Structure 1
Amino acid sequence: MRAARVFADRADGGRCLAEELRHRTWADPLVLGLARGGVPVAAVVARRLGAGLDVAVARKIGAPGRREYGVGAVTAEGPAIYDEAALHTLRLTAARLAWTEAGERAEARRRLGRYRAGRPAAVLAGRDVIVVDDGLATGVTATAALRDVREGRPRRLVFATPVAAPGAADRVRAEADDVVCVAEPPGFRAVGQWYADFRQTSDDDVLDLLFR
C-alpha cells in the first residue's frame, strides 16, 4: 500500500488501482463502477484487466440538514442499511429517515434505469466481481452496494478503491472476499481532497463510459 498521494483525477486513480489488481488471477472478471464517481475509475480498471464493465448504484442516506454525512445507504432493491453508531450519536432512528430513504431509493432506480437503457443486468454468478469506487469514507454506501451484488452469487467479490479513510476498509471486509486500496492516508477528511481534479461525474459521463 502506497503512502499518501494526490491523484491527478479519477482516471489516474484507476491506473494506480489497476496496478494493484493486474497481477492477480481473475476468473471471468466483471468490474462494477459505483455510480457515479466510481465509474471513471472502474472504466480504466476494466480496460487494464481486459474485464467487462457495468454499473452498480447505491445512494447515501444523509442526516437531516447534513446531507453529505451518510448515516445509511440504499440500493434500487433490498433493505436499507444504517450506521447504528451514527444514528445513536445524532439521536436519529431509521423510522425518522423513512422519507429520505424512499427518495434515495427512487433516485437509485432512476439512475439504474437510465444507465442500463433497456440492457439486462450483467450476469454475476460464477464470476469474479470487482466493485470499484473513487474513494471510501465511512463504508456505508460500499456496504449497501456489496450486499446487493452478493445476491447475484459471484464466485469472488472484491471491493477496490484508490483511497480510503484509515480503518474504513476494515468496515467493509465483512461484506467482500477482499478489499484493495492504493492508499489509506492519515489526515483523511473527504475523498475529494486526494484528487487534484474532482469535478462531478454526470449521468452523461457514466453513459459515455459504459457504451464507449
Structure 2
Amino acid sequence: MELFPDRAEAGARLAERLLDAHDPVVLALPRGGVAVAVPIARRLGADLEVLVTRKIGYPPTPELGVGAIAEGGEPVFDLRLLDRLGMTPESVADVVERERRELARRVHAYRGDRPLPPLEGREVIVVDDGLATGGTARAALRAVATHKPAKVTLAVPVGARETVRSMRDEADEVVVLLTPIDFRAVGQWYERFDQLSDADVLELLGRE
C-alpha cells in the first residue's frame, strides 16, 4: 500500500474527498493534525482553527492512554482498559488535572485569548493525521458536539479499521483514505513523519 510522502500531501488528497462541505469550519488537532488541515482549509476556502486535546496516560506507563480530554469538554475514558488495569477515573484525577493545565497552556500558545470560532449550526470538519486508538479524536468530537453544529465530519488520512468503525458512532461522517489491515502506528504510513513543535504549529497557522 502506497505511503503518504508527508502530512501536507495527505491533507491535499483528503481535501478532494471533502469538496461537498458547505462553508465548513476546519478544526485541527495539534500538533500533527495541523499540517494535514492547512491544505484542506486552503482547498475548501474554510476557516481554520486548532482544537487542543491531551491524552490521559496510565501513571506507571504514561504512553498508554486510558482516556483523553479536549478543550471545552469533559474527560473521555476507556473504561474497559481502566477496569483491566484495576483503576477508575478517580484513580487518574491527578493526571487529568495536570493535562488540563497543559491543555490550557497550549490553547493560550496557539490562540492567545481568542475563543474557538462559533460552531453552532455550522459544518465542522475535525482533522488529525491518523487514528490509532482514537482516544483524542473521540474527546474532540464530543467536545465539538456540545456546540450544536449542523454536521460534524472526522477526516483523517489513515486509521485502524476497528477505530474507524467506532468513530462512526461519534461523527456524522468519517472520511478516511487508508484503513490498512496491518495497521500498527500512524507514522508507518508516512514517508516523512517529523514530530512537530509548538513553533511549527504557529508557523503553519501563520502566527509566528
Which range, TM-score by smaller chain?
over 0.9
Pick closer, same or farther for the CA change 1:63–1:5 going to 2, 3 Å.
Answer: farther
Task: Mark the runs of 5 or more structure 1 residues left unpaired by the alignment.
Answer: none
Quick check: 1:52 aligned with 2:47? Answer: yes
1:29-66 C-alpha deviation (Å, 9 max, x unpaired): 11110011100100111111111100111111112232
Counterpart residue number, 2:202 = 207
Counterpart residue number, 1:5 = 2
Give the letter for the 2:153 counterpart.
V
Counterpart residue number, 1:33 = 28
The correspondence for 1:124, drawn from 119, 122, 140, is: 119
Give the letter for the 1:47 counterpart.
R
SS of 1:180 mapped into structure 2: strand
Quick check: 1:176 aligned with 2:171? Answer: yes
Give the letter for the 2:137 counterpart.
A
Quick check: 1:15 aligned with 2:12? Answer: yes
CA contact (8 A) 2:51 2:71 kept: no
CA contact (8 A) 1:163 1:183 kept: yes
Which deviates further from its counterpart, 70-79 or 174-183? 70-79
CA contact (8 A) 1:157 1:177 kept: yes
The correspondence for 2:62, drawn from 41, 63, 67, is: 67
SS of 2:5 mapped into structure 1: coil
Runs of 4+ in 1 over 6 A off after TM superposition: none
Q: Distance in 1 between matches of 2:23 and 2:80?
A: 38
CA RMSD of aligned residues (A): 1.4
CA contact (8 A) 1:76 1:106 kept: no
Deviation at 1:14, TM superposition (A): 0.5
Counterpart residue number, 1:102 = 97
Give the letter for the 1:21 counterpart.
L
Using structure 1 for the length normalisation, give the TM-score.
0.92
Aligned length: 207
Deviation at 1:102, TM superposition (A): 0.9
